[in-house]
Structure 1
């Protein structure tokens, strides 16, 4: 084969490859646009019901108002706050950050408990928190949450229960000087953390009064804190010790939710109460109850009629092999 013929063939292949790359790019843009259009067209709330509160999507079985949710457990209130914005609340007081239909989870804000020494009155001021989800459709997620304690002389306990058995978990946070503290992960100096039991529906937080109770700790920071919170991405800062920034604050917390207290096999035998009503939906056992997901190749809300819509699904391999 002469050099010019070989060069011509390479040039022809390069042109075909370039055309293929352009065509594929355009095709992928069309597919991405189509997927976005499907997502935009899919309803997430019951017909006639608001689907968001101040930009936070509220998908069914959750709903704003009793007539828009599956049950009282899933009722969301959309209330005005002091700065004239609206915030979605679960249980009346827990601000909702987001809700996942796919995972059966919700992220909410949960208050920080505190133990602060008042050097003037020589008294310790407590702010303890208690939460009870027992008997509801919710439980505290044991994989994404940790019990955390922050302070230089703080011992705190959390009482966890599934409504029947009770477990106490303790965590002590100590430090001899501020110089020993560094910003970063919760390593044990100024901050400690521990796991929580699976299936927890009740939590109560308390402090050991023998700690953080004198002027000896005043130079290190007068407050100790304890909280159940989502630990993903949490960073410890020395200002948590030197300031009162955490006092009265709220931290993100992940709760699991499920439908009812029966398995999929049992629920599917009672069609009048079974809630995976969309075509192309599947039932998944989850905790004491079940969840609904769209089947592979579909997306949307399986709790709504025709809530799961199909996506374009094919392989590009044959196209690539025949054009390169």
Structure 2
């Protein structure tokens, strides 16, 4: 039995040395990654923990720096700096989960019955100079409207992917309450996580019904979206509800896993 115990110890010794070496490396990283004294840790109702920071030299690097400013509703919120595009409003950041949530950019096409004009808005987001990625497992591409085709392009046209969705033509009788199954509402999965995306409604294909004058396309958190027929029958209903939903982002510290970020702030 003594020889067997010695044999087990001989096998375990290299593993123990490896664990100690790894722990020493983590301690060294921990010593380097500390928030600076005096940096703002709250913006409005959103807590901002290290490695993120508000303002210059308060985050782990410039890529982790957030802006604290008023949003379009006059409330202070943190924003991710836009890379040649608009800054993105942050709803929450979790260091323990390695997740963040941002306000949904929305694409739309609307018909004005009074003057006959059609107005377009397309939404896009650029995270290429940030530690964030759009999660492909926690978000869904949603299209709302009557005979509306929209698509989302991920990571650019050369090396990226495109997902499309058609919300079929409908009548009031054909609408199904709380069902996003193709009639008036459709959904598509996101094949890859991405740093860059834009969403566009195809005006050459899409049109509107007698009671629904707008089509919308949005990327949003799949677990929280619930379709309502009021989005098709009540102007402004969709815009009001979508404010309370978010796009989910993953984030990492360089090549390290998010779990390491949690260790560094514990």
TM surpasses 0.5: yes
Superposition TM-score, scaled by structure 2 size? 0.76
CA distance in 1, matches of 2:61, 2:112: 45
In structure 1, runs of 5+ residues without a counterpart are: 1-43, 263-288, 295-300, 309-324
Give the aligned partner of residue 243 of structure 1: 234
CA distance in 2, matches of 1:73, 1:225: 31
How far 1:199 sits from its partner (Å)?
2.8
CA distance in 2, matches of 1:69, 1:187: 43
Matches within 5 A, 1:178-193: 178-193=172-187
Superposition TM-score, scaled by structure 1 size? 0.63
CA distance in 1, matches of 2:157, 2:99: 20
How far 1:81 sits from its partner (Å)?
4.5
Q: Does 1:69 align with 2:59?
A: yes
How far 1:73 sits from its partner (Å)?
1.9
How far 1:194 sits from its partner (Å)?
0.7
Q: Does 1:291 align with 2:250?
A: no
Structure 1 runs (4+) greater than 3 angstroms displaced:
80-85, 246-251
How far 1:254 sits from its partner (Å)?
0.5
Cα pair 1:102 1:293 within 8 Å, conserved: no
CA distance in 1, matches of 2:182, 2:98: 32
Cα pair 1:134 1:163 within 8 Å, conserved: no
Distance 1:222 1:84, change over 3 A: closer
Give the aligned partner of residue 86 of structure 1: 76
How far 1:163 sits from its partner (Å)?
8.3
Q: Does 1:142 align with 2:133?
A: no
Of 213, 218, 230 in structure 2, the residue corresponding to residue 222 of structure 1 is 213
CA distance in 2, matches of 1:149, 1:82: 24
Cα pair 1:212 1:222 within 8 Å, conserved: no
CA distance in 1, matches of 2:189, 2:230: 24
* Count of aligned positions: 226
Cα pair 1:46 1:60 within 8 Å, conserved: no
How far 1:231 sits from its partner (Å)?
1.2
CA distance in 1, matches of 2:157, 2:206: 32
Greater Rg by CA:
1
Distance 1:151 1:82, change over 3 A: closer
How far 1:138 sits from its partner (Å)?
1.6
Distance 1:91 1:244, change over 3 A: farther
Name the Cα RMSD after superposition: 2.4
Of 89, 98, 116 in structure 1, the residue corresponding to residue 92 of structure 2 is 98
Distance 1:145 1:84, change over 3 A: closer
In structure 2, runs of 5+ residues without a counterpart are: 1-33
Cα shift readout 1:83-137 (whole Å, capped 9, x = no counterpart): 6542221226222111111221101102211011122332321000121223532
Give the aligned partner of residue 41 of structure 1: none
